[in-house]
Amino acid sequence: MKTGQRFTAAEFRNNPALLKQARLSTSAKSQNKNEESEKKRSKYGAKKVTIDGIVFDSKLEGKRYTVLKILEKSGEISDLELQVKYDLSFNGVHICNYYADFVYQENGKKVVEDAKGMRTKEYNLKKKMMKAVHGIDIFESNIKHTK
């Protein structure tokens, strides 16, 4: 049986080989769907990675962590922290939280960094709120240029 080949109901019922092949084809498709649903992709295709026992949301973030660890060992940066939470409130009203991928000291200054493969509308808004509420400019590493 070829994909897209048509049969009448009578031809299909009277041909056991076609019926068996159709069942095999259908079960293979449902098995593939089950495997795909088990391996859920993130919205933007990022794949989680584990480094030093820490699970990162993307390979990009994991690679940046590796570079920052080397910089910390060499003394170029210090006090490296991961997933630092910032409260974004305005006029006493809590709006949301921002989680910085990395926070560290470089040349006596605090750096708040986000490893970004893509800027979302939500991220752009939180970046502006970080500047307005805390006076912090977020350093973005490895931005991929999009249309």
Residue 113 near residue 100 (C-beta atoms within 8 A): yes
Q: Where are the domains of the chain?
A: 9-38, 49-141
Confidence of residue 116 (pLDDT cuts 50, 70, 90): confident
Give the number of other CB atoms < 10 A from CB of residue 77. 18
C-alpha span between 108 and 137 (Å, rounded)? 16
- Per CATH, is 49-141 categorized as 3.40.1350? yes
Output the pLDDT for position 73. 92
Average pLDDT, rounded, for the chain? 80
Residue 89 near residue 98 (C-beta atoms within 8 A): no
Output the pLDDT for position 23. 63
